[in-house]
Amino acid sequence: MLLGRYKVYKALIEDIFYDPEETEETTFPATDKDLLILTERFLAFEIPSKVFLQAIAIADYDGAAAFRYVDSYLNTLKNKNKRKHKKLLVLGASTRFDNN
């Protein structure tokens, strides 16, 4: 009888302290196909080799994290280029007004 109560209390305690954010996700290394897709995502951009090698190193133990890393890096790169182009347009527009 005590063993039955222990199991119930243990289950209640585990349920109270269960935090889904603390549970570890199972990670899987990237497959060869995943590595090819990661490489193709980088092809349109000029990137440092250390960024590419970091993505491959991450993919070795967690394929999903490698894709998040690549997407994050490329989004940062795209945003940086957009800001650079906006500055060039503003500078070009201001010189036209100065000449008139």
Each residue's pLDDT tens digit, 16-59:
555 555 556 688 999 999 999 999 998 888 889 999 999 999 99
Is residue 30 within 8 A of residue 66, CB to CB? The reply is yes
- 97: pLDDT confidence band, cut at 50, 70 and 90? low
Neighbours of 29 (CB within 10 A): 13
* pLDDT beyond 60 at 99: no
In this prediction, residue 13 carries a pLDDT of 55
What ranges do the domains of the chain cover?
Answer: 28-99
C-alpha 100/C-alpha 96 separation (Å) is 7
How far separated are the first and last CA of the chain, in Å rounded? 96
C-alpha 41/C-alpha 69 separation (Å) is 12
Distance between alpha carbon 26 and the CA centroid of its chain, in Å? 16
